[in-house]
Amino acid sequence: MKLVLACLLLAAPAGAQIVKADPLIDAELVDPAAETGFEAWLSSYRATAQAQGIRPATLDRALGGLSYSPRVVALDRAQPDDSGLASSNLFTDYLARRLEPVREARGLAAKGRYQAKLSELEATSGVPASIVLGVWGMESSYGAVTGSFDVVRSLASLAYDGRRRVLFTRELTAALTIIDKGLADPAKLRGSWAGAMGQPQFLPSSYVAYAADGDGDGRADIWDSGEDVAASISRYLIAKGWRRGQGWGVAVQVPTGFDRERVRNLVQPVDCVRVLTKHSRWISLGEWRALGMIRADGNPWPGDDTLATLVEPDGPGGPAYLTFGNYRRLLDYNCSNFYALSVALLGDALK
């Protein structure tokens, strides 16, 4: 699971008159009660982490003097319930902000610089270079935006807060495991307010499970090694079930008067519920074509037996896509149709 990066908000300057309280701006003001509770929770957590095998010296180093971050908790509580996007936003607006010339130029530069590694990964794993580049660009704009929050402090604060305690306690333990096993320089553990790190924005548990050494130096450096970043993204998608040769989907033109009730999905999704309820049921491409769907780019269709779901992110009359099984692997990375479609379309633009 990956969380959408929140913008960094600066605290009000000392002595400034605050007309209206804003929890995101004033969030780092000291809360003695919260700090006391945090210290008690941290002491209890430390005992649990040590019982799980984290060495006392690591706990001293990582947790000693750690303070609660009300700012991080405020950012977490400000997140919408869906995919990090206000329901009034349109995908077309979102896409225009993300497929801007600067990001595409960075993508082309990364493609040129790491072409050999991307081609090697595509040949061995089946994950297209375009998809790796799409994820890389959407997550950090090829390393330009990776976040500056202290990951251990953020995760500890979120675990203490309790809104998603199981998730963030697990991620805190994973971050301490990275430090304890010497997998990465502890100074590198900086990222988003939610603990996502490096150029692919891996949560610590994803780093432990999927980070890969792509440049052969014996370390998985997702912060500074482009080869490692590409190899790690590819490894993640393969582990989630990416299928070689299938692609992610196609843009389509929906025929006028199309009866969407006819293809409505009657099975309630179990995971990624809000996002997947916007998809139709699975239908073969042969059936979609018989229903009047036209491929928007005019290219040949994949095989008629390929199963696909229809998603129209802005509703009827807007862009429409038939998405294949591999599209769900992009949702595994970040459960948002806006995100997954932007990854796919950015990758297509970089082909």
The backbone region for 65, taken as left when phi is positive above 0, alpha when psi lies in -120 to 50, beta otherwise, is left
**pLDDT at residue 12 above 50?**
no
Compute the mean pLDDT over every residue in the chain, rounded to the nearest whole number: 89
| Phi and psi torsions of 119, nearest 5° | -65, -40
Does residue 200 contact residue 214 with C-beta atoms inside 8 Å? Answer: no
Mean pLDDT, range 265-286, rounded to an integer? 95
Q: Which residues contact 5 (CB under 8 A, 6 or more apart)?
A: 145, 147, 192, 196, 201
| Distance, CA of 229 to CA of 345 (rounded, Å) | 20
Position 32 scores a pLDDT of 77
Q: Which of these CATH numbers, 3.40.50.1400, 3.90.1310.10, 3.40.190.10, 1.10.8.350, describes 32-75+147-197?
A: 1.10.8.350
Assess contact for 308 and 282: CB atoms under 8 A: yes
CB-count burial class (<10 Å; 0-12, 13-18, 19+) for 246:
middle
Confidence of residue 177 (pLDDT cuts 50, 70, 90): very high
Residue 10: pLDDT band with limits 50, 70, 90: very low
Mean pLDDT of 173-186: 96
pLDDT of residue 30: 62
pLDDT of 251 over the 80 cut = yes
CA distance 323 to 248: 6
Per-residue pLDDT tens for 74-119? 998 886 544 444 445 899 999 999 999 999 999 999 999 999 999 9
> H or E element: which one contains 125?
helix 115-125
Domain ranges of the chain: 32-75+147-197, 249-323
